[in-house]
Structure 1
Amino acid sequence: MATISKGSYTPLYGRDSSQVKVEAFLLDVYPVSVSEYIQFLKENPKWQKSQVKGIFADKNYLNGWEGDLKPNPKTKEDEPITSVSWFAAKEYCKCKGKRLPTLDEWEYVAMADSKRIDARTTESYNQYILDWYEKPKGKHETIGSTFKNYWGVYDMHGLVWEWTQDFNSVMIASESRTGGNDNNLFCSAAAVGATDLMNYAAFMRYAFRSSLKGNYSVNNLGFRCAKDLDSIEK
């Protein structure tokens, strides 16, 4: 895991343009891979495709797999795992003694390019992210195939979207993990409250997250785990 030093940033939404402090924490260097998730399924059969309950994962969970422990034959073991629900990702991290990163933690790390902690005003960096958003999901791309950022973390952009602990905490009024969200709140009207109207890449992430429910399983949505730094120091 990479050590992320404490700092602050201005999020796109929800804080009246004020700086948000992010405490030091640990973050997985790579997204969780297919092989790592298979091991989790072996140890936790209730999360296998044939066993998982619909309240925790929709019908697209592990889409394309040929069996509970058998992905599509073309799938590589070091590909990022996708088509997993928030509930499943959360449980995976818990079983590893970790947790999902918060939205603020994820965005804080994701604003870094290879040399700068905050590259959000760099035109080439934003264009790189937008170009990736416009492309279809790449087939069988492996973890670590994108650049290593300032923190030593790979694949924050350019591989898959990622779950966060509080993925739906900003642009909707109710708890979408229970199914009570109002989709009108993440349409274009939501841009009114943005702190940076030019940061379209960040707006797309917030809008996408707020369209999700906890049991959704999307074929380009994976995850990585985080851990409190003080849990290591104690």
Structure 2
Amino acid sequence: MATIERGSYTPLYGRDSSQVAVDAFLLDTVPVTKAEYLAFVKDNPKWRKSNVKGLFADDNYLNAWQGDLQLNPNDKEDEPVTNVSWFAAKAYCKCQGKRLPTLDEWEYVAMADDNSPDARKKDSYNQYILSWYERPKDEHQQIGSTRKNYWGVYDMHGLVWEWTQDFNSVLISSESRNGGKNKNLFCSAAAVGATDLMNYAAFMRYAFRSSVKGNYTINNLGFRCAKDIEKKDSL
């Protein structure tokens, strides 16, 4: 895990948004892999494909797997796990003694590029993200295959979308079309509530998050875990 130092940032949402403080925390340097999630379901039968309840994961849950305990033969173990619901991702992190990152934590880390903790005003940074959003999903892209940012964290952009602990805390759109499918989950009318209308890349993430539900499983939505930094007792 990478240590993320305390700081602050101005979020996208709300016309009068002020700086949001983010305490220091730990974050996985890469998303959770298929091999890691397979080990989790082996130890936790309730999260196996045939056992999971619809309340916690829709019908697309692990839909490419060949049964409960076997990946698709074309998959590699170091690919990011996808088609995993928020409930399942939360349970996985808890079993590791971790948690999902908050939305603010994720956005705080995601605004960094290779050598700067906040690269949002750089054209190259935004163009990199938008060009990824425009590309079809690479079915077999491995973790750690994108840029390592200022914090030593890989794949914040360019691999898969990621769950956050409070993914639906900022409501941009009430629309949720096509169920668990990831197409058409955006509503441009919500842009009127954005702090910076030019930051379209960030807006896309907020719109996406507001369009999903906790039991949705999507083929380009994965996750990584975070952890609080234990504070030493004062003498």
TM-score by length of structure 2 reads 0.92
**Paired residues of 1:14 and 1:170 also in contact (CA < 8 A):** no
The aligned counterpart of 1:42 is 42
The aligned counterpart of 1:202 is 202
The aligned counterpart of 2:111 is 111
The aligned counterpart of 1:229 is 229
The aligned counterpart of 2:19 is 19
User: What whole-Å deviation, never above 9, does each CA across 1:71-106 have from its counterpart, x for those lacking one?
Assistant: 110000000000000000000000011000000000
User: Residue 34 of structure 1: CA displacement?
Assistant: 0.5
RMSD between superposed Cα atoms in Å: 1.7
User: What whole-Å deviation, never above 9, does each CA across 1:135-160 have from its counterpart, x for those lacking one?
Assistant: 11102110000010000000000000
CA distance in 1, matches of 2:173, 2:208: 15
Structure 1 residues 173 and 221: alpha-carbon distance in aligned structure 2, compared to 1, 3 A threshold: closer
User: Residue 50 of structure 1: CA displacement?
Assistant: 0.3
CA distance in 1, matches of 2:47, 2:164: 19
Q: How many positions carry a matched residue from both structures?
A: 224
The aligned counterpart of 1:82 is 82
Partner SS for 2:215: coil
User: Residue 19 of structure 1: CA displacement?
Assistant: 0.3
**Paired residues of 1:49 and 1:62 also in contact (CA < 8 A):** yes
Identity %: 77
Within-5 A mapping of 1:181-196: 187-196=187-196
User: Residue 124 of structure 1: CA displacement?
Assistant: 0.8
User: What whole-Å deviation, never above 9, does each CA across 1:43-67 have from its counterpart, x for those lacking one?
Assistant: 1010000000000000000011111
The aligned counterpart of 1:8 is 8
Q: Which runs of 5+ in 1 are unaligned?
A: 180-185
Within-5 A mapping of 1:162-177: 162-171=162-171
- The AA in structure 2 aligned to 1:36 is E
Partner SS for 1:227: strand
TM-score by length of structure 1 reads 0.92
- The AA in structure 2 aligned to 1:161 is W
**Paired residues of 2:173 and 2:207 also in contact (CA < 8 A):** no
CA distance in 2, matches of 1:143, 1:58: 25
User: Residue 172 of structure 1: CA displacement?
Assistant: 5.1
User: Residue 15 of structure 1: CA displacement?
Assistant: 7.4
CA distance in 2, matches of 1:82, 1:143: 12
CA distance in 1, matches of 2:67, 2:111: 38
**Paired residues of 1:13 and 1:171 also in contact (CA < 8 A):** no
User: Residue 173 of structure 1: CA displacement?
Assistant: 8.9
The aligned counterpart of 2:99 is 99
The aligned counterpart of 2:182 is none
CA distance in 1, matches of 2:119, 2:64: 37
**Paired residues of 1:187 and 1:207 also in contact (CA < 8 A):** yes
CA distance in 2, matches of 1:172, 1:63: 29
**Paired residues of 2:15 and 2:193 also in contact (CA < 8 A):** no
Q: Which runs of 5+ in 2 are unaligned?
A: 180-185
The aligned counterpart of 1:139 is 139
More helix by share: 1
Structure 1 residues 15 and 170: alpha-carbon distance in aligned structure 2, compared to 1, 3 A threshold: farther
